[in-house]
């Protein structure tokens, strides 16, 4: 008997562990759990998006072109772009896959600065291409000089997550602009701005502003974060029109669904909801970071909807004890942890549990 998994494309066999995904603990499925492990918006979807999606359900028998076109136009006018510069995806995760499908040949190199979003590193192996990683600077900031130094003749893609997941650190936008403008012609830069909407730096420029000057630039956005629509699967790429056409070659014609797309159109108008969740995130980010520092935790400076930290403890044990209280966060290599910012009472439950754990379990240096 030949196992069907043996018939997979060879490069895919290498990334099978990633494809298989994680088992979901039964406790995670219960109502009332404090689920701060996946950077989900604990307030969303936006009420206006919910109404629009409920209305759209009755058209579920129809293919989504008209709603997709309306969403493309809405996003374009929201960000002062042309509709031809917007490519819709089934979440920005699907955009990352489509970028691989479109551009990666065997032996190409994909450059990243680690730690960064976990979906980039497994991507090249699916095409027989190679990941090249450079480490972050001290303080966990993305090292643009090291990325520049890591470029070779084979570099096809550079992924920059800004603000970065999992660290939450934000690049200086002048430095990023300068980096993008000086890239060699054969390199495509992807700036993943999934967490852009949480930034609290007046006048901070999106990499979308650099598209007119640098044609090989792809900026990714998602409705999964500030708009609270992670389960509705809508993301998009902003590029110049030429790049949009190239990306479209590898994209399914119906690369989103009409329910999510209808919700996304109205979510963009729900400024009251966005203001409320943004204000909560800013206040709670400040409060949680301060409280964690008081506990002797090293906290990375976050401009996102989560906090990355080193509590100098046994992280598996920490995770387990928190899970026993139905509080879920995430572990990362090098004894690091990440907690998403939720509602005040959820955040307080996390802080109380963390304090209790650390009193009993702190590693003595």
Task: Catalog residues that contact ligand PLP under the rule CB under 6 A.
Answer: 39, 91-93, 117, 161, 165, 192, 194, 222, 224, 230, 235
DSSP 291-341: HHHHTT-EE----SSEEEEE-SS-HHHHHHHHHHTTEE-EEETTTEEEEE-
Minimum gap (Å) between residue 74 Cβ and ligand PLP: 17
| Among 271, 290, 89, CA closest to 197 | 271
Q: Are 72 and 86 in contact (CB under 8 A)?
A: yes
Minimum gap (Å) between residue 155 Cβ and ligand PLP: 21
| Max intra-chain CA distance, the chain | 62
Minimum gap (Å) between residue 72 Cβ and ligand PLP: 16
Minimum gap (Å) between residue 326 Cβ and ligand PLP: 22
Q: What's the CA dihedral at 344, 350, 352, 355 to 10 degrees?
A: -140
Nearer to ligand PLP among residue 256 and residue 313 (C-beta): 256
Q: Are 114 and 134 in contact (CB under 8 A)?
A: yes
Nearer to ligand PLP among residue 87 and residue 224 (C-beta): 224
Q: Are 144 and 162 in contact (CB under 8 A)?
A: no
| Among 190, 175, 6, CA closest to 96 | 190
What contacts 287, CB < 8 A, 6 or more positions away? Answer: 347
Nearer to ligand PLP among residue 251 and residue 357 (C-beta): 251
Closest residue to ligand PLP, judged by C-beta, is: 91
Nearer to ligand PLP among residue 198 and residue 357 (C-beta): 198
Nearer to ligand PLP among residue 64 and residue 235 (C-beta): 235
Nearer to ligand PLP among residue 231 and residue 296 (C-beta): 231
DSSP β-ladder status, 109-114 and 217-222: unpaired
Which pair of tokens denotes residue 322?
């928190």
Minimum gap (Å) between residue 124 Cβ and ligand PLP: 16
Q: Which residue has tokens 């604990």?
A: 42
Minimum gap (Å) between residue 317 Cβ and ligand PLP: 26
DSSP 246-284: HHHHHS-TT-S-HHHHHHHHHHTT-HHHHHHHHHHHHHH
Nearer to ligand PLP among residue 232 and residue 292 (C-beta): 232
Minimum gap (Å) between residue 91 Cβ and ligand PLP: 3
Minimum gap (Å) between residue 251 Cβ and ligand PLP: 14
Nearer to ligand PLP among residue 229 and residue 292 (C-beta): 229
């Amino acid at each position: 008997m030949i196992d069907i998994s043996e018939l997979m494309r060879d490069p895919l066999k290498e990334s099978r562990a990633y494809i298989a995904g994680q088992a979901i603990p039964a406790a995670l499925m219960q109502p009332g759990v404090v689920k701060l492990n996946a950077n989900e918006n604990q307030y969303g979807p936006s009420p206006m998006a919910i109404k629009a999606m409920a209305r759209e359900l009755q058209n579920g028998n129809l293919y989504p072109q008209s709603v997709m076109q309306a969403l493309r136009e809405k996003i374009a006018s929201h960000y002062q772009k042309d509709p031809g510069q917007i490519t819709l995806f089934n979440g920005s995760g699907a955009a990352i896959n489509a970028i691989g499908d479109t551009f990666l040949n065997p032996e190409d190199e994909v450059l990243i600065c680690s730690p960064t979003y976990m979906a980039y590193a497994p991507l090249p192996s699916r095409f027989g291409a190679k990941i090249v990683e450079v480490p972050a600077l001290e303080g966990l900031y993305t090292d643009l000089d090291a990325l520049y130094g890591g470029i070779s003749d084979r570099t096809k893609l550079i992924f920059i997550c800004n603000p970065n997941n999992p660290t939450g650190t934000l690049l200086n936008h002048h430095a990023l602009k300068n980096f993008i403008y000086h890239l060699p012609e054969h390199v495509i830069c992807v700036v993943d701005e999934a967490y852009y909407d949480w930034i609290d730096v007046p006048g901070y420029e999106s990499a979308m502003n650099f598209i007119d000057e640098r044609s090989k630039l792809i900026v990714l956005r998602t409705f999964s974060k500030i708009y609270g629509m992670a389960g509705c699967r809508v993301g998009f790429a902003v590029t110049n029109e030429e790049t949009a056409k190239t990306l479209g070659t590898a994209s399914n014609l119906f690369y989103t669904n009409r329910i999510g797309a209808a919700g996304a159109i109205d979510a963009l108008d729900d400024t009251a909801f966005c203001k409320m969740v943004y204000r909560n995130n800013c206040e709670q980010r400040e409060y949680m970071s301060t409280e964690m520092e008081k506990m002797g935790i090293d906290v990375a400076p976050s401009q996102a909807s989560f906090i990355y930290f080193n509590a100098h403890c046994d992280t598996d044990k920490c995770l387990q004890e928190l899970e026993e209280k139905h509080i879920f966060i995430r572990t990362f290599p090098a004894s690091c942890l990440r907690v998403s910012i939720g509602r005040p009472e959820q955040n307080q439950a996390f802080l109380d549990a963390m304090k209790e754990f650390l009193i009993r379990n702190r590693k003595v240096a």
